[in-house]
C-alpha cells in the first residue's frame, strides 16, 4: 500500500542544489501520478525555460540526488524534458500583478536577461529587451548546436515570454546603460553575457585558418558554417570546445581536441564528453599549443603541478616534449570573458561588471547587472537564477515587494506507490544511431515515453517528506571518517573540538537532509551513530 502525503519536511538535496530552486520532488510526484501538465506548472513556478532546461541543463541537482546512496541518481533533467513535452497541452498559467506604471530596460536577450524580463513583467512592470543580434536568445540560439538544443525549442520559450507582455527589440545594440535611464526607464538591467574570446597569447594565433569557438558556433547555428576542410583541431576543455568538436564532425572533419589537463579536470559535462568520443573525436589530454604556423600547430605535453586559483592542479610544460599536428581549421575555445567597459560600467580586473553581489546593483543608481556579464561564463540554470535575483532587486528598487512566489500547481493529498526498490537503475536514454550523427544536426537524445517517465519517477525517494534525527555520541566517536565517506548528502563534518579521548568527533550538520538509508549506522565501528525517525 502507498503512504499518504500529509506534510513537507524541508528542502530536498536536489532542490537545494538547483540554483533556481525548482521544487524537484513535487514535480516528480506529479509525473509519478501521470500529471504532466501539473508537473510542468511546478517547474514554471521557478523558471521560464522548462523546455531549454529539459534539453540542455547541466543538472547539478542529480549530483546531490539521495538515490546515489543506493544506485543511480534519478534522471531529473530528462523528467523535466518529458514534463515540458507532454505537459504543454494548454497555454501556461501566469501569475501577474496589476500595472505598476514603471518601465524597465533589459540589455541582452540570453537566459539571464529574458528570465529577469519575464518575472519583472509578472510584477506589473513594462519591460523592453534590447538585443544587438538579429534574433533573441543569446547563447541559447547562437552558442549551442541544434543536436543539443533545437532552435524551435528556443523560439517556443521566447514566444511564451513575449506572451507575458515582454517587448523584445532585436538588432538594437546599446552603447551606454545610462542612456536608457536618460530616455525615461526607471531601471536598467545589463545581461550582455560573456562574448569576448580569451586569447592564449601564442605566436600565430591570428593566422588564417584559426577561428574563435563562439564565432564558429554562431556561424553554424545561423546556417553559414565555414568550410573547415578535412582536419580540424579544437583547443579547450569546456562545453564550447566540445560543441565545436562535435559540430566539426557533422561538417565532415576528422577532429583532434587538445586539453591541457586530464579528463578529471575537464569542465565540459561528462555526458557531452562521452558522446564526443562516441562520435569519433580524439581528445588529446595534457597537451597545449605553443605556436601556430600555416596549416600546422606545434604543441607541448603538460604535467599537473600544485593547485592554482581555480582549485585545479596547474598544468606546466614538459621540457622536450613538443610535437605538431596538421590542420585545415584550428578552433580556439579556451574561454570567454565579459566586457563591462563597452557599456561604460565600472568593471572588475577580468572585465566583468562590478556589482553588489547581494542585489546585483552597479555603482550607477538604477542600473543592475547579472549573469555571465558579472560572473563570467556559467551555466543556463545559473543564468536563470541570476535573472530571478535581478528581478527581486529591481522590483524592490521600484517600490515592489520583490516577492516572486508563485503557486501554479497545488499538490493534493496523493496515495503514492512504494518507491522503486534499491538497485533499480534508471532507464537507458536512447539516442539516434552513431553513424547517423555525423551527417545531421538532429537532436542526439530521444525522450522517455510517458510509461518510462512514470516508472523513473517512482525511483524518487521524496526526501522533502522524510524526517529523521541523526545523533552522534561524541564521547565515543574516534573520527574514523567512515560516515563522511559513505554519505553523499554532506550530513557529517569533523568537529573543531576534541573529545576526552583526544579525537575530533564527527558532528551531524544538515540533518534535515537525512533519508534514513542507515549506511552510516552500518559502517560505524564505534556504534556512535543513532538515526531516529521523527
- In the three-class reduction of DSSP (H, G, I as helix; E, B as strand; rest coil), residue 211 is classed as strand
237 grid coordinates: 576543455
Question: What local confidence, expressed as pLDDT, does residue 410 receive?
Answer: 67
Site of grid cell 575555445: 333
Burial class (CB in 10 A: 0-12, 13-18, 19+), 526: middle
Q: Tell me the CB-side half-sphere exposure of residue 48, using CA atoms within 13 A.
A: 34
**Given 3-state DSSP classes, what are the helix, strand and coil percentages for the chain, each rounded to the nearest 5?**
30, 20, 50
Average pLDDT over residues 58-85: 94
Strand 323-326 relative to strand 329-332, pairing? unpaired
Is residue 6 over pLDDT 70? no
Backbone angles phi, psi at 299, to 5 degrees: -125, 165
In sequence order, what are the beta bridge partners of 317?
A: 302
In sequence order, what are the beta bridge partners of 105?
A: 128, 188
User: Hey, do 103-195+337-397 and 199-334 end up sharing a CATH topology, with the first three levels equal?
Assistant: yes
Residue 27 pLDDT grade (very low, low, confident, very high; cuts 50, 70, 90): very high
Average pLDDT over residues 448-463: 94
Rounded Cα distance between 316 and 11, Å, is 43
Question: What local confidence, expressed as pLDDT, does residue 461 receive?
Answer: 87
Strands (E) across 101-199 are located at 103-107, 126-130, 167-169, 187-190, 196-197
Buried/exposed 248-280: b ≥16 CB within 10 Å, e otherwise: bbbbebebbbbbbbeeebbbbbebbbebbeebe
Residue 417 pLDDT grade (very low, low, confident, very high; cuts 50, 70, 90): low
Question: What local confidence, expressed as pLDDT, does residue 490 receive?
Answer: 84
Strand 367-369 relative to strand 329-332, pairing? unpaired
Dihedral angle at the C-alpha atoms of 263, 264, 270, 274, nearest 10 degrees? 30
CATH topology of domain 13-92+406-463: Fumarate Reductase Iron-sulfur Protein; Chain B, domain 2 (1.10.1060)
- What is the CATH code for 103-195+337-397? 3.50.50.60
520-534 pLDDT, tens digit per residue, is: 887 888 888 888 776
Rounded Cα distance between 405 and 528, Å, is 42
Residue 10 pLDDT grade (very low, low, confident, very high; cuts 50, 70, 90): low
Average pLDDT over residues 144-173: 96
**Range of weakest confidence among 87-101, 197-211, 502-516:** 87-101
318-352 pLDDT, tens digit per residue, is: 999 999 999 999 999 999 998 888 888 999 988 89
How many other C-beta atoms lie within 10 A of the C-beta of residue 109?
A: 29
Question: What local confidence, expressed as pLDDT, does residue 11 receive?
Answer: 79
Average pLDDT over residues 178-197: 95
- In the three-class reduction of DSSP (H, G, I as helix; E, B as strand; rest coil), residue 178 is classed as helix
Average pLDDT over residues 178-201: 94
Is residue 310 over pLDDT 90? no
Global pTM?
0.89
Where do the domains of the chain lie? 13-92+406-463, 103-195+337-397, 199-334, 467-533
Is residue 409 over pLDDT 70? no
Residue 5 pLDDT grade (very low, low, confident, very high; cuts 50, 70, 90): very low
Rounded Cα distance between 453 and 472, Å, is 39
Residue 365 pLDDT grade (very low, low, confident, very high; cuts 50, 70, 90): very high
Question: What local confidence, expressed as pLDDT, does residue 340 receive?
Answer: 80
- What is the CATH code for 199-334? 3.50.50.60
Is residue 511 over pLDDT 80? no
264-299 pLDDT, tens digit per residue, is: 999 999 999 999 999 999 999 999 999 999 899 999
Burial class (CB in 10 A: 0-12, 13-18, 19+), 156: middle
Residue 4 pLDDT grade (very low, low, confident, very high; cuts 50, 70, 90): very low
For the chain, percent of residues with pLDDT exceeding 70 = 95
Question: What local confidence, expressed as pLDDT, does residue 1 receive?
Answer: 26
For the chain, percent of residues with pLDDT exceeding 90 = 74
User: For residues 228 and 329, is the Cβ–Cβ distance under 8 A?
Assistant: yes
Question: What local confidence, expressed as pLDDT, does residue 76 receive?
Answer: 98
Question: What local confidence, expressed as pLDDT, does residue 91 receive?
Answer: 64
- What is the CATH code for 467-533? 3.30.70.20
Buried/exposed 120-138: b ≥16 CB within 10 Å, e otherwise: bbbbbbbbbbbbebebbbb
Count of residues for the chain? 534
Beta carbons within 8 Å of 20's beta carbon, 6+ residues apart? 46, 47, 381, 384, 385, 388
How high is the mean pLDDT of the chain?
Answer: 91
Backbone angles phi, psi at 154, to 5 degrees: -60, -45
Is residue 3 over pLDDT 60? no
236-263 pLDDT, tens digit per residue, is: 999 999 999 999 999 999 999 999 999 9
Strand 126-130 relative to strand 103-107, pairing? parallel
Question: What local confidence, expressed as pLDDT, does residue 2 receive?
Answer: 32
372-405 pLDDT, tens digit per residue, is: 999 999 999 999 999 999 999 999 999 999 998 7
Average pLDDT over residues 413-418: 54
Question: What local confidence, expressed as pLDDT, does residue 94 receive?
Answer: 67
Q: What is the DSSP letter of 275?
A: H
Is residue 416 over pLDDT 80? no
Residue 514 pLDDT grade (very low, low, confident, very high; cuts 50, 70, 90): confident
Amino acid at each position: 500500500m502507498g503512504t499518504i502525503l500529509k506534510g513537507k519536511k524541508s528542502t530536498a538535496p536536489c532542490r537545494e542544489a538547483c540554483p533556481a530552486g525548482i521544487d524537484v520532488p513535487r514535480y516528480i510526484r506529479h509525473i509519478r501520478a501521470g500529471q504532466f501538465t501539473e508537473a510542468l506548472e511546478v517547474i514554471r513556478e521557478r523558471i521560464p525555460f522548462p523546455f531549454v532546461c529539459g534539453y540542455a541543463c547541466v543538472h547539478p541537482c542529480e549530483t546531490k540526488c539521495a538515490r546515489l546512496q543506493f544506485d543511480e541518481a534519478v534522471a531529473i533533467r530528462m523528467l523535466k524534458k518529458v514534463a515540458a513535452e507532454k505537459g504543454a497541452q494548454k497555454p501556461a498559467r501566469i501569475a501577474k500583478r496589476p500595472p505598476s506604471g514603471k518601465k524597465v530596460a533589459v540589455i541582452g536577450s540570453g537566459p539571464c536577461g529574458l528570465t529577469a524580463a519575464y518575472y519583472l513583467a509578472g510584477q506589473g512592470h513594462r519591460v523592453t529587451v534590447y538585443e544587438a543580434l538579429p534574433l533573441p536568445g543569446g547563447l541559447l540560439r547562437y552558442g549551442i548546436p541544434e543536436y543539443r538544443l533545437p532552435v524551435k525549442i528556443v523560439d517556443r520559450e521566447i514566444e511564451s515570454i513575449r506572451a507575458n507582455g515582454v517587448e523584445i527589440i532585436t538588432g538594437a545594440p546599446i552603447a551606454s546603460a545610462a542612456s536608457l535611464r536618460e530616455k525615461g526607464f526607471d531601471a536598467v538591467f545589463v545581461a550582455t553575457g560573456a562574448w569576448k574570446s580569451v586569447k592564449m597569447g601564442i605566436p600565430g594565433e591570428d593566422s588564417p585558418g584559426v577561428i574563435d569557438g563562439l564565432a564558429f558556433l554562431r556561424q553554424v547555428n545561423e546556417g553559414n558554417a565555414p568550410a573547415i576542410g578535412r582536419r580540424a583541431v579544437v583547443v579547450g576543455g569546456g562545453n564550447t570546445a566540445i560543441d565545436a568538436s562535435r559540430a566539426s564532425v557533422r561538417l565532415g572533419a576528422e577532429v583532434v581536441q587538445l586539453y591541457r589537463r586530464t579528463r578529471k579536470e575537464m569542465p565540459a559535462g561528462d555526458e557531452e564528453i562521452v558522446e564526443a568520443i562516441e562520435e569519433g573525436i580524439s581528445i588529446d589530454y595534457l597537451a597545449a599549443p605553443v605556436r601556430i604556423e600555416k596549416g600546422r600547430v606545434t604543441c607541448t605535453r603538460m604535467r599537473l603541478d600544485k593547485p592554482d586559483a581555480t582549485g585545479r592542479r596547474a598544468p606546466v610544460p614538459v621540457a622536450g616534449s613538443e610535437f605538431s599536428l596538421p590542420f585545415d581549421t584550428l578552433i580556439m575555445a579556451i574561454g570567454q570573458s565579459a566586457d563591462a567597459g563597452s557599456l561604460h560600467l565600472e568593471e572588475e580586473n577580468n572585465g566583468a561588471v562590478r556589482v553588489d553581489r547581494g542585489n546585483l546593483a552597479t555603482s550607477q543608481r538604477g542600473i543592475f547587472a547579472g549573469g555571465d556579464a558579472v560572473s563570467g561564463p556559467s551555466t543556463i540554470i545559473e543564468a536563470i537564477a541570476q535573472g530571478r535575483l535581478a528581478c527581486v532587486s529591481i522590483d524592490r528598487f521600484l517600490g515592489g515587494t520583490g516577492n516572486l512566489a508563485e503557486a501554479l500547481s497545488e499538490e493534493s493529498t496523493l496515495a503514492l506507490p512504494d518507491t522503486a526498490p534499491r538497485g533499480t537503475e534508471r532507464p537507458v536514454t536512447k539516442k539516434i544511431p552513431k553513424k547517423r550523427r555525423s551527417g545531421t544536426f538532429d537532436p542526439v537524445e530521444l525522450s522517455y515515453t510517458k510509461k518510462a517517465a512514470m516508472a523513473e519517477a517512482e525511483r524518487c525517494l521524496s526526501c522533502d517528506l522524510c524526517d529523521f534525527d541523526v545523533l552522534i555520541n561524541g564521547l565515543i566517536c574516534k573520527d574514523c571518517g567512515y560516515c563522511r565517506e559513505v554519505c553523499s548528502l554532506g550530513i557529517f563534518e569533523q568537529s573543531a573540538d576534541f573529545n576526552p579521548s583526544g579525537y575530533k568527533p564527527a558532528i551531524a550538520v544538515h540533518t534535515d537532509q537525512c533519508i534514513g538509508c542507515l549506511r552510516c549506522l552500518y559502517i560505524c565501528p564505534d556504534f556512535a551513530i543513532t538515526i531516529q525517525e521523527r
